[in-house]
Amino acid sequence: MPALKFDTLSYVKQLTSAGVEPQVAEIHAMTMANAFGLYIDNVVTTDYLDSTLDKRFPDFVLRM
């Protein structure tokens, strides 16, 4: 479940409206999407952290 969503079409439109050639804007958007994709799997959400800690906390209390 991705925590972030990168809208490549909107990004291309923003770049082209600023004067960037459409082909360059498309390549840049694809590169950015790939770069974000490399890191999205390593994002720790609060939901994940809470569920992980909730599962481990009872074991920790028992050891104390």
Between 50 and 7, the higher pLDDT residue: 7
In a domain, 40, yes or no: yes
pLDDT tens-digit readout, 21-38: 999 999 999 998 888 776
In a domain, 36, yes or no: yes
pLDDT at residue 13 above 80? yes
Between 57 and 32, the higher pLDDT residue: 32
Task: Tell me which residue range forms the domain holding 25.
Answer: 8-63
Q: Tell me phi and psi for residue 6, to 5 degrees.
A: -105, 115
Between 1 and 14, the higher pLDDT residue: 14
In a domain, 1, yes or no: no
Number of domains forming the structure of the chain: 1
Verdict on whether the full-model pTM lies above 0.75: no
User: Per the structure block, which two tokens stand in for 52?
Assistant: 């992980």
Whole-number Å distance between alpha carbons of 17 and 45? 34
In a domain, 3, yes or no: no
pLDDT at residue 63 above 70? no
Angle, helices 22-40 vs 8-17, to 10°: value is 140
